Amino acid sequence: MISSVFFDLDGTLADTAPDLAAALNQILQEQNKPALPLESIRPAVSLGGNAMIKLAFSMEEDDPEFDELRQRFLEIYHQRLHQDTHVFPGIGKALDYIEANNMIWGVVTNKPEWLTHPVMEQLNLTQRTACIVSGDTTEFRKPHPGPMLYACELAKCVPETSLYVGDALRDIEAGRAAGMKTLIADYGYIAKDENPETWNADGSISEPEEIIDWLEKENRNI
């Protein structure tokens, strides 16, 4: 039976796109470039800061200005990283169900620790979670299974009875490689040209509360 559930942070547990988009548009303004609409930024959020800089400035990581722009972007984001961030509607009910049924839950994200922990604190989730594994907690980042396996160590559970929920291909790849069940958060930051049906996940949900039905069905079939 599934006894532990792990979540990606950006685009799965919390809607962080508004604050990230505001930070990106501020640096665009500083560089005398036009702002981008939130709709065009959202799909890049789950891919991290590098992807957002690439999107905004149409440059690659080997560009001499790339690192400076990325660092400035993260500085701006850090100043406002929970101004408009909130958990997705239905996440609260899903977490209540998990806890009420003696399951544990945690977070595995590629977001660096210095940004992850303030967001989790602001959302009042730090004390509730069994573990928080950030992008720099271990030697590896998703899609490597290392962070997933470390999360299991911290939460004192095993991958075979764990579920990972994420909104990016690398989330599903990491979960599968670790031996977990995987679930796609279709409500997250998935680009229109992506095809999640090819990701080989164990299922997908269009809103967070559907995690409850999926868990009940999965555990009933064991």
User: According to the model, what pLDDT value does residue 48 have?
Assistant: 87
Which tokens belong to 3? 């006894």
Peptide bond into 64 cis (omega under 30): no
State the pLDDT at residue 140: 96
Letter for the amino acid at 127? Q
Determine the length of the chain: 222
Place of tokens 């500085």: 75
The Cα 74–Cα 114 span in angstroms is 10
Helix/strand/coil (H/E/C) assignment for every residue in 108-144: ECCCCHHHHHHHHHHCCCCCCCCCEECCCCCCCCCCC
User: Residue 41 in contact with residue 17, Cβ under 8 Å?
Assistant: yes
Distance CA 125, CA 211 (A): 18
Question: What per-residue confidence (pLDDT) applies to 166?
Answer: 98
Task: Identify the active-site residue in 8, 15, 19, 171.
Answer: 8
Would you call 8 a catalytic residue per the annotation?
yes
Give me the sign of the Cα torsion angle 161, 165, 166, 169. Answer: positive
Is residue 7 within 8 Å of residue 120, measured between CB atoms? Answer: no
Measured distance CA(199)–CA(47) in Å, rounded: 16
pLDDT digits (tens, 9 = 90+) for 2-14: 999 999 999 999 9
Helix (H, G, I), strand (E, B), or coil: what is residue 105?
A: strand
- In this predicted structure, the answer to whether residue 46 has a pLDDT above a threshold of 90 is no
149-181 burial by CB neighbour count: b if 16+ within 10 A, else e? Answer: bbbbeebebebebbbbbbbbbbbbbbbbbbebb
Q: Residue type at 162?
A: S
What's the rounded mean pLDDT across residues 45-68? 93
145-198 pLDDT, tens digit per residue, is: 999 999 999 999 999 999 999 999 999 999 999 999 999 999 999 988 999 999
Residue pair 200/176 in contact (Cβ under 8 Å)? The answer is yes
Amino acid of residue 28: L
| Residue 4 β-bridge partners | 104, 162
Among the listed residues 202, 199, 198, 196, the one whose alpha carbon sits nearest the alpha carbon of residue 214: 202
Average pLDDT value for residue range 79-106: 96
For residue range 19-39, what is the model confidence (pLDDT) as tens digits? 999 999 999 999 999 999 999
